[in-house]
Structure 1
Amino acid sequence: MIRFDQVSVTYDGAPAPVLRDVDLRIEEGELCLVVGRTGAGKSTLLGTVNGLVPHFTGGTLAGRVTVGGRDTAHFPPRELADVVGVVGQDPLAGFVTDTVEEELAYAMEQLAVPANVMRKRVEETLDLLGLADLRHRALHELSGGQQQRVAIGSVLTAHPRILVLDEPTSALDPTAAEEVLAAITRLVHDLGVTVVLAEHRLERVVQYADRVLHLAGDGTVSDGLPAAMFRTTTVAPPVVELGRLVDWRPLPLSVRDARRAAGPLRERLDKIAVPPARSSVPAGSGERPALTARGVVVRYGDVVAVREVDLDLQSGQVTALMGRNGSGKSSLLWALQGSGPRQGGTVDVAEAPDDRDTASGRRTGSGKRGRDPKQLSAAAARRLVGLVPQTPTDLLYLESVAAELAQADRESAGASVLSARELLDRLAPGIADDTHPRDLSEGQKLSLVLAIQLTAAPRIVLLDEPTRGLDYQAKKALKGIVDALAAEGRSVVISTHDVEFVAAAADRVVVLAEGEIVADGPTTEVIVASPSFAPQAAKILAPLEYLTVGQVDAALAGLAVTS
């Protein structure tokens, strides 16, 4: 179905090919999982399947890629639409109509499919993906999982034999991700569709893969059965990391298989106390909260996104804000920061006279107490509460990294003893001044925006879905940044669907549903009790309260020392 014959891709100015001498055969009805570090070339590999590379991305393609017998060098993407359907990371950005039914029909209209055939295919797709009840709904009113299914359906109506998916669950809560993956596996098993899928959150998808394509980062691509490939891949989900740690053979790829193998391990671990998931900075129980919110209400027309929320944030504490898509997480963060709408309630940020920058001993505050960011100028609000949005590029508008950093220094007017460049070098060293911000990797963009926000030395740091587009190593680096912010006495709030990151990084979890707080407590207490939010280590080792593979490693090391 898909053939790569000695394929190499080199972009202009690049020192080496992104892909080098790739030979692959992907058969009909396979679900191929593409894995590798950020920047290894996964998106380039996906782009070659439908001709986006090099027709739209530029660069030079050597060798030959054939899809359904067509050479992509001679067929641009529009002439492959009946063979290959492509769904990107952000489905809403790709929609061109207003309602579900119109979106499903649009691709067929472009292909001049007869009207009677179009109607039949729309009905079939609505039933196949469970969208029949949503046919007349506006696309912007749908949840993230529903939007992703509509995006898949919009390419399926053209009856492609190949589906290419780039990070299909990156913006979805665990339940919505399961819905989308169930739809994808049904296409593979019931219709024989070939699926090529790249995903950073491997814990969600690895058990569904028939084959794994591993990009090592040097341009080479290796492929094989998942259990064999994950023995040596540069990235791996927690279930695989645990299997590697205790040398389970065969290597389990699902929680079910891991639990079957984990009986002896649970017996060993039951003899000792569970090590802490992270070295928390204790919040002073008698101190005034760094931020106090009471009765916060956010409405969009008739829709109530945040419903009279009360929330206290403590200095030195990392709080995870969780909940399904549309539960009000982003609306609450913007309301706390002051830039977003807030129709009711109060936000009170304490700024004590003795607040000092940890590195310099200089005061970061003005000595005032009880300030509401919404009542201040944008620059003054940033000194109290800094927010990094879901798409960091929303805050990047200049032509170079140096220009962005200089602008941050001017706006912050010495609030921090460290310059924006010094902060960036701590977070992501090695980024050249003349680099265009939009040419950075996702992790580098996040680090740049975080450095810009931290020049204002805010006591409260809000991160909205910061792990989107990050691989496991990049998430470890982000955890180090979050730990450092907490150690400086800042309160950090992370809105995320990434349960594995929460397990490793958060002291406290707050769960929202329909704009209300439905759970609030220590991380272990909240997420272990939830089937949706529990990380893989917790599911495998329950009833033991382990959250991360790192805790297991520490416990086994302790056992080895005492035995």
Structure 2
Amino acid sequence: MIRFTDVTVTYPGGRAPALRDVDLEVGEGELCLVVGPTGSGKSTLLRAACGLVPHFTGGLLAGAVTVAGRDTRTHPPRDLADVVGVVLQHPADGFVTDSVEEELAYGMEQLGLAPAVMRKRVEEVVDLMGLSALRHRPLGDLSGGEQQRVAIGAVLAAHPRVLVLDEPTSALDPAAAEEVLSALTRLVHDLGLTVLLAEHRLERVVQYADRVVLLGPDGTVRHGDPAPLLADSPVAPPIVELGRLAGWSPLPLSVRDARRRAAPLRERLGSRPVTGPARGTRPAVVPSGRATAAPDPITPRVLLEATGVHVRHGRVHAVRDVSLRVAAGQTLALMGRNGAGKSSLLWALQGAAPRSAGRVAVGADGADPARLAPREQRRRVALVPQEPQVLLYLPTVAAECAAGDRQAGAPAGTTAALLGRLTGPVPPDAHPRDLSEGQRLGLVLAVQLAARPEVLLLDEPTRGLDYAAKRHLRDALAAHTAAGGAVVLSSHDVEFVAECADRVALLAEGEFVADGTAREVLVASPTFAPQVARILHPAELLTVADVAAALAVTA
């Protein structure tokens, strides 16, 4: 169905080819998972498979790519629209209508389908993607995850033979991601849909893959069955890392298979004490009406406190009577399904979005961030939004770093040095929009950290990051809290939360429904438990590092 023949792609000004000598065939009815480090060429491979490379992106494509027998060199994307559906990393950028139902129908209108056919397919997709409650909503009112589901549904409504997806679950909560991937798998198995999918959160996808394509940092490709290929892959989900630690061969790729193999390991861990990070000892969330404990003389000072916060967007009551307290040295993770109010709460805490009611106080003087001057506000509480590139407006990385230093009142070179520690070398003359997802996040985070804010807020900070980049981010957040700062992050990435959060608070319909240490909340959750916790339950271990530490106690 998709055939790459000796394909090399080189972009103008590129120091090396983005793809090099790729020979690959993806058959009909196959779900092919594309993996590799950030910047290895995954997005280029996907774009080449649908004709966007080189017709839209420019650059030189050597070799040939054929899709359903059509050569992409002579068939631009419009000539492939009836056979290839595409959802890229930022699906909202591709919306052309105002409402969910209109967007679901738009692609079919362009293909000239009859109204009766369109109506039937819209209903099918609404059921398939769980969009019933959203169908009459404006697209601009949806959360990032809800927009992602709509984008996938709009493509599926056109009944493509090939589906190309770039990070399709990056903004989805764990339950929604599982539903979407299960729906795609049914279409692959029952209707012969061919899916070419790139994803950094391999723990969500790898069990569904028929084949894995692994891209190296030099743009070369290896491909084969998932388990053997991931055995020595530089990027691997926790289930594979746990299998390597336990010496399992072949490696299991689903939690069910791993649990069957894990009985001896669970026995070894049964008598081991829980080790690893303390992950919090005092509540960060104070539900309304609940008495708080008496002050403790050794308790770190509170850097951020919210009381009775409400946020409304028109008729939508996004945040309802939320109270929380975050102390120095603490990392609080906000979790919950798409549309639960996490982003609205972060913006209200930062002061950029209006509160309908309630109070937010930062620092020793209890200042309201909404009433602070921008420079002082950034020093007290800085926000890295879900789409960090919206804060980038200058033509080069060097210019952004210099502006970050000036606005923070920091010595020249501070932001650039932070960026280097977060992402490694980044060309100073590169345009910020040309950077990878991880590099853009690193640049915005460096700009915000240069001001040395007391509280750092992050909204879905791991979108587009591979496992190595997440480790760099985890270490940066740990350094911030170790220096006396605090972190509040919203995330659907349960593996990242398990590694870095002291405390977790779950939101549903704008209200806190649970709070506690990361172990208390995550281990017992059927939705938010990380892979290690699912495999080794009832052992209260969250990460592979926790397992290694527990095994080392009596080694």
TM-score (norm 2): 0.93
Q: Determine the C-alpha separation between the residues in 2 that align with 1:108 and 1:101.
A: 12
SS of 1:164's partner is strand
Q: Which AA in structure 1 matches 2:7?
A: V
Partner of 1:366: none
Q: Determine the C-alpha separation between the residues in 1 that align with 2:438 and 2:554.
A: 36
Question: What residue ranges of structure 2 are gaps of 5+ in the alignment?
Answer: 283-295
Q: Determine the C-alpha separation between the residues in 2 that align with 1:417 and 1:435.
A: 19
Q: Determine if the alignment matches structure 1 residue 256 to structure 2 residue 251.
A: no
Match of 1:521 among 516, 522, 528: 516
**Cα deviations by residue, 1:400-438 (Å, 9 ceiling, x for unpaired):** 222222222222234x89833333333334234322222
Q: Determine the C-alpha separation between the residues in 2 that align with 1:40 and 1:137.
A: 37
Partner of 2:98: 98
Q: CA RMSD in A?
A: 2.2
Partner of 1:380: 376
Q: Write the mapping of 1:157-306 to structure 2, written as runs, cut at 5 A.
A: 157-277=157-277, 285-306=298-319
Question: What residue ranges of structure 1 are gaps of 5+ in the alignment?
Answer: 352-368
Q: Which AA in structure 2 matches 1:72?
A: T
Match of 2:532 among 537, 543, 552: 537
CA contact (8 A) 2:207 2:254 kept: yes
SS of 1:32's partner is strand
SS of 1:12's partner is coil
Q: Determine if the alignment matches structure 1 residue 118 to structure 2 residue 118.
A: yes
Q: Which AA in structure 2 matches 1:410?
A: R
Q: Write the mapping of 1:327-406 to structure 2, written as runs, cut at 5 A.
A: 327-351=340-364, 369-406=365-402
Counting aligned pairs with the same residue, the percent is: 64
Q: Shift of residue 129 of structure 1?
A: 4.1
Q: Determine if the alignment matches structure 1 residue 472 to structure 2 residue 467.
A: yes
Q: Determine the C-alpha separation between the residues in 2 that align with 1:521 and 1:501.
A: 17
Q: Determine the C-alpha separation between the residues in 2 that align with 1:420 and 1:73.
A: 42
Q: Determine the C-alpha separation between the residues in 1 that align with 2:458 and 2:93.
A: 22
Q: Determine if the alignment matches structure 1 residue 78 to structure 2 residue 78.
A: yes
Q: Which AA in structure 1 matches 2:406?
A: R
Q: Determine the C-alpha separation between the residues in 2 that align with 1:387 and 1:234.
A: 31
Partner of 2:15: 15
CA contact (8 A) 2:35 2:199 kept: yes
Match of 2:447 among 438, 448, 452: 452
Q: Determine if the alignment matches structure 1 residue 501 to structure 2 residue 496.
A: yes
Q: Determine the C-alpha separation between the residues in 2 that align with 1:175 and 1:526.
A: 16
CA change 1:217–1:120 in 2 (3 A) is: same
Partner of 2:36: 36
CA change 1:251–1:97 in 2 (3 A) is: same
Q: Which AA in structure 2 matches 1:491?
A: A
SS of 2:430's partner is coil
Q: Shift of residue 439 of structure 1?
A: 2.2
Q: Shift of residue 143 of structure 1?
A: 5.5
CA change 1:494–1:119 in 2 (3 A) is: closer
Partner of 2:67: 67
Q: Shift of residue 24 of structure 1?
A: 1.3
Q: Which AA in structure 1 matches 2:474?
A: K
CA change 1:387–1:106 in 2 (3 A) is: same
Q: Which AA in structure 1 matches 2:435?
A: L
Q: Shift of residue 90 of structure 1?
A: 2.9
Q: Which AA in structure 1 matches 2:62?
A: A
**Cα deviations by residue, 1:192-233 (Å, 9 ceiling, x for unpaired):** 100111111111111111111111222211111111111121
Of 96-105 and 81-90, deviating more is 96-105
Q: Shift of residue 84 of structure 1?
A: 0.6
CA contact (8 A) 1:144 1:176 kept: no
Partner of 1:26: 26
CA contact (8 A) 1:81 1:158 kept: no
Partner of 2:328: 315
Q: Determine the C-alpha separation between the residues in 2 that align with 1:192 and 1:505.
A: 40
Q: Determine the C-alpha separation between the residues in 2 that align with 1:458 and 1:258.
A: 42
How many residue pairs end up in the alignment? Answer: 542
Q: Determine the C-alpha separation between the residues in 1 that align with 2:62 and 2:6.
A: 7
Q: Shift of residue 100 of structure 1?
A: 3.2
SS of 2:553's partner is helix
CA contact (8 A) 1:7 1:19 kept: yes
